[in-house]
């Protein structure tokens, strides 16, 4: 899986690259419009992550030219511009997703995964992790071939975990993933706790191993198998 | 009242009063002239009479015609004063009362004092006065109407550039980013006015665009380093060798940077609402939006054991940019949830003209209206930024909605109404 991260802020580009590389993607970086344009002309990528404000040009322009050349590349915009017009424009020129800065790397990762799932697997859309199987189209979860009934938020939570295996996830990032970034109160953090408790119970009941570990002071980690 | 209407009204009032005064003055002058003429003729006749009685003896059947002269012995106490007066005497043939001017004087005839009254019919003179006055009044009236009509047309034409400028300013919209185009009238004052307005609007447009650019830049410039901090912290927490202290510090940094980015976003949103940078207004069903958001928060409400009751008689429709409607709904709902108590209630009532969202909570220490100000918080809870209600208020103020916050015995109500 080849990816291109187009971001002029060096530190941020490095973080994204490092994070995604750990997930097994081959990542390249471009920090200017020209560099990105050149790379997109020379190589094929499965997915690109583009900042809209770039030295030397507009990210939207870059997407437009890319779309003309190869329509199959997945595109995620990361921008500090949180205007609806920008979001609409971004989707109009053919991007698949739009993340407003600052974002959680785990959230970006989840979006990349979901995008790749949508692009690659088409109809049969399954995520497998040991004894857990998720059918993302029908939103059904199976443990050892046995269906587990999860609530909407529990399902979203599980999918978020499955997109970020063996990664420490902060409670805030989980809360934001589930309820959007307006729910920043202590209540929503408590809610995260109660949802995780329920999810864990439902998975174990059906015979799954306990994959959710809490990390003191930070949040949770899924995996360790 | 329009400018032209006002000047016309003043002009009309002034010229009408002038017209009345002039007409009255003219009438008096003509009347005086005619009376003067009649009186001087009466005085001549008096001399004729005196000369006559000096040479001849007075007899009642003398040459004077009936009504023209009347001589009788003086009965009243004598005061030998000559007096003029108006009198009415019945016409012999037509039985009409006819106006006369009468000169009365006293003269001794055949050793006895006599009172002599010489009269002249005023009927012709009166007609003359009437005719002259009427003609003059008519002429003056025509003149008045003419000048009024002319003045009306003239000022209408003279003020045309002004109204033109006014209508162009009215249609001028900053958010269209189009310069204001004004004509070059030949009247210097208007031309100067247009120049000044042109300069001003250009400056405003320039500043507006600058501000917009600054808003975007500030947002970008601040969000990027914040994104960087967040990303690095997230990477850092992946490390396995952190001590408990380090974890705590990192967590604090992480929370602080998240808080800062929320603050930044909130303040930028406020600035953008103030600058009216949201333009694509749409008709939005706010009651339905709130209902959906509340349904979305169902789990949160279950968790806090909050009872939800809805009574939507008819949809509450407002015209808002979709993004702001979303922000309004989210802020109201999260406010109702955040400050609620376990086992509390949330009520949504809506009708065509109003919408109320009520929630249970703690009694307020501050006046409710104050909580609409930025960074004004009830208590010192650090989880809320103190911007949510300010954003709600700003949206309402800018899009023709009235919001009222009341609190009675721990029941907090936010009521929205249309119109200012």
**pLDDT tens-digit profile of B127-139?**
888 898 889 889 9
Residues of B within 8 A of A215 (CB-CB) are 237, 247
Token pair belonging to B97: 């009362």
In this structure, are B379 and B402 located in the same domain? yes
Within-domain flag for B165: no
Task: Give the list of residues 6+ apart from residue A161 with CB closer than 8 angstroms, or none.
Answer: A169, A211, A212, A220, A222
> Minimum mean pLDDT among A117-126, B98-107, B167-176: which range?
A117-126
In this structure, are B188 and B99 located in the same domain? no
Please tell me the distance from the alpha carbon of residue A116 to that of residue A45, in angstroms, as a whole number. Answer: 12
Q: Among B260, A86, A178, A8, which Cα is nearest to A16's?
A: A8
Q: Which residue of B has its CA nearest to A153?
A: B299
Contact (Cβ atoms closer than 8 angstroms) between residue A5 and residue A26: no
From the list B231, B251, B300, the residue facing A15 with the nearest CB is B231
pLDDT score for B159: 87
Categorize the per-residue pLDDT at A77 as very low, low, confident or very high, splitting at 50, 70 and 90.
Answer: very high
CATH of domain A2-120: 3.40.50.2300
Q: Among A60, A83, A163, which Cα is nearest to B223's?
A: A83
CB contacts < 8 Å between A and B, how many?
123
The CA distance from B227 to the nearest CA of chain A, in Å, is 4
In this structure, are B108 and B241 located in the same domain? no
pLDDT score for B274: 77
Per the listing, tokens 């960087």 go with B228
Categorize the per-residue pLDDT at B257 as very low, low, confident or very high, splitting at 50, 70 and 90.
Answer: confident
Contact (Cβ atoms closer than 8 angstroms) between residue B238 and residue A105: no
pLDDT score for A27: 93
pLDDT score for B176: 73
pLDDT score for A149: 92
In this structure, are B206 and B109 located in the same domain? no
In this structure, are B12 and B110 located in the same domain? yes
Please tell me the distance from the alpha carbon of residue B112 to that of residue B110, in angstroms, as a whole number. Answer: 6
| A49 three-class SS | strand
Within-domain flag for B69: yes
Contact assignment for A185 to B337 by CB distance below 8 Å: yes
The CA distance from A70 to the nearest CA of chain B, in Å, is 29
Contact assignment for A101 to B224 by CB distance below 8 Å: yes
Within-domain flag for B200: yes
Question: Per-residue pLDDT tens for A116-148?
Answer: 888 775 545 788 898 999 988 888 999 998 999
Please tell me the distance from the alpha carbon of residue B245 to that of residue B390, in angstroms, as a whole number. Answer: 37
Per the listing, tokens 């927490």 go with B237
Please report, for chain A, the start and end positions of each structural domain, with discontinuous segments joined by +: 2-120, 126-222
pLDDT average, residue stretch B259-277: 81
Please tell me the distance from the alpha carbon of residue B364 to that of residue B414, in angstroms, as a whole number. Answer: 14
pLDDT beyond 60 at B108: yes
Within-domain flag for B161: no
Contact (Cβ atoms closer than 8 angstroms) between residue B7 and residue B14: no
In this structure, are B198 and B286 located in the same domain? no
Question: Per-residue pLDDT tens for B197-243?
Answer: 999 999 999 998 888 778 767 776 788 888 889 889 888 888 878 88
Beta strands A212-215 and B112-121: pairing type? Answer: unpaired
Residues of A within 8 A of B337 (CB-CB) are 185, 187
Percent of chain A with pLDDT over 90: 40
In this structure, are B100 and B83 located in the same domain? yes
- The count of other CB atoms within 10 Å of the CB of residue B53 is 18
A6 touches chain B (CB under 8 A): no
Question: Chain A, 38-97: which have a CB under 8 Å from a chain B CB?
Answer: 53, 78, 80-85
Residues of B within 8 A of A168 (CB-CB) are 237-238
In this structure, are B29 and B106 located in the same domain? yes
In this structure, are B235 and B373 located in the same domain? no
Residues of A within 8 A of B343 (CB-CB) are none
pLDDT score for B310: 92
Question: Per-residue pLDDT tens for B20-68?
Answer: 898 888 889 988 998 899 899 989 988 888 888 888 776 665 555 556 7
pLDDT beyond 80 at A71: no
A24 touches chain B (CB under 8 A): no
Please tell me the distance from the alpha carbon of residue B130 to that of residue B119, in angstroms, as a whole number. Answer: 21
pLDDT score for B278: 80
What's the domain count of chain B? 4
pLDDT score for B78: 63
In this structure, are B256 and B289 located in the same domain? no
Dihedral angle over CA of B339, A189, B219, A84, nearest 10:
-80
pLDDT score for A102: 84
Q: Taking all residues of chain B, what is their mean pLDDT, rounded to a whole number?
A: 85
Residue B50 lies in domain = 3-155
In this structure, are B138 and B13 located in the same domain? yes
Task: Name the more confident of B183 and B279.
Answer: B183
Residues of A within 8 A of B250 (CB-CB) are 218
pLDDT beyond 70 at B386: yes
- Length in residues, chain A: 225
> Domain A126-222 maps to which CATH number in 1.10.600.10, 3.40.50.300, 3.30.70.100, 1.10.10.10?
1.10.10.10
The CA distance from A152 to the nearest CA of chain B, in Å, is 10
In this structure, are B251 and B319 located in the same domain? no
pLDDT average, residue stretch A2-21: 92
């Amino acid at each position: 899986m080849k990816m291109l991260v187009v971001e002029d802020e060096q530190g941020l580009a490095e973080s994204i690259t490092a994070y995604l590389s750990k997930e097994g993607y081959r990542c390249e970086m471009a920090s200017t419009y020209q560099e990105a344009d050149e790379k997109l002309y020379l190589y094929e990528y499965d997915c690109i992550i583009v900042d809209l404000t770039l030295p030397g040009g507009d990210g939207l322009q870059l997407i437009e030219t890319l779309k003309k050349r190869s329509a199959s590349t997945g595109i995620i915009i990361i921008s500090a511009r949180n205007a609806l017009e920008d979001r609409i424009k971004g989707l109009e020129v053919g991007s698949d997703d739009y993340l407003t800065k600052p974002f959680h790397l785990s959230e970006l990762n989840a979006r990349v995964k979901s995008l790749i799932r949508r692009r690659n697997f088409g109809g049969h859309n399954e995520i497998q992790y040991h004894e857990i199987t998720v059918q993302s189209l029908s939103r059904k979860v199976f443990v050892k071939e046995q269906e587990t009934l999860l609530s909407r938020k529990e399902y979203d939570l599980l999918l978020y975990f499955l997109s970020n295996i063996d990664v420490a996830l902060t409670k805030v990032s989980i809360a934001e993933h589930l309820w959007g970034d307006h729910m920043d109160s202590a209540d929503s953090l408590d809610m995260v706790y109660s949802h995780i408790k329920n999810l864990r119970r439902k998975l174990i009941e059906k015979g799954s191993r306990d994959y959710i570990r809490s990390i003191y002071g930070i949040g949770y980690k899924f995996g360790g198998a | 009242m329009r400018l032209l209407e006002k000047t016309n009204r003043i002009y009309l009032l002034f010229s009408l009063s002038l017209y009345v005064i002039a007409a009255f003055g003219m009438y008096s002058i003509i009347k005086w002239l005619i009376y003067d003429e009649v009186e001087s003729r009466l005085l001549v006749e008096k001399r004729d009479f005196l000369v006559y009685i000096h040479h001849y003896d007075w007899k009642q059947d003398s040459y004077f015609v009936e009504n023209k002269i009347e001589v009788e012995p003086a009965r009243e106490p004598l005061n030998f004063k000559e007096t003029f007066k108006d009198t009415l005497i019945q016409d012999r043939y037509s039985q009409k009362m006819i106006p006369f001017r009468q000169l009365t004087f006293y003269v001794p005839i055949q050793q006895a004092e006599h009172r002599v009254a010489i009269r002249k019919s005023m009927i012709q003179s009166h007609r003359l006065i009437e005719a002259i006055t009427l003609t003059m009044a008519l002429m003056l009236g025509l003149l008045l109407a003419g000048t009024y009509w002319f003045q009306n047309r003239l000022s209408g034409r003279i003020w045309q550039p002004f109204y033109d400028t006014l209508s162009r300013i009215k249609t001028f919209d900053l958010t269209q980013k189009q310069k204001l185009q004004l004509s070059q009238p030949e009247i210097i004052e208007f031309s100067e006015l247009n120049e000044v307005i042109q300069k001003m609007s250009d400056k405003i447009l320039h500043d507006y665009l600058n501000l917009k650019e600054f808003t975007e830049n500030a947002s970008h410039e601040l969000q990027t380093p914040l994104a960087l901090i967040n990303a690095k912290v997230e990477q850092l927490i992946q490390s396995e060798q952190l001590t408990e202290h380090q974890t705590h510090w990192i967590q604090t940094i992480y929370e602080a940077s998240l808080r800062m980015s929320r603050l930044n976003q909130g303040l930028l949103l406020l600035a953008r609402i103030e600058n009216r940078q949201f333009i694509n207004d749409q008709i939005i069903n706010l009651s339905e939006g709130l209902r959906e958001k509340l349904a979305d928060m169902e789990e949160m409400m279950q968790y806090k054991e909050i009872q939800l009751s809805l009574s939507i008689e008819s949809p509450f429709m407002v015209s808002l940019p979709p993004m702001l409607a979303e922000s309004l709904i989210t802020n109201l709902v999260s406010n109702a949830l955040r400050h609620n108590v376990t086992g509390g209630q949330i009520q949504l009532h809506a009708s065509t003209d109003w919408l109320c969202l009520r929630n249970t909570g703690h009694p307020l220490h501050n006046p409710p209206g104050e909580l609409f100000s930025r960074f004004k918080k009830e208590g010192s809870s650090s989880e809320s930024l103190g911007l949510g209600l300010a954003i709600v208020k700003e949206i309402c103020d800018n899009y023709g909605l009235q919001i009222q916050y009341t609190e009675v015995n721990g029941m907090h109500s936010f009521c929205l109404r249309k119109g200012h």
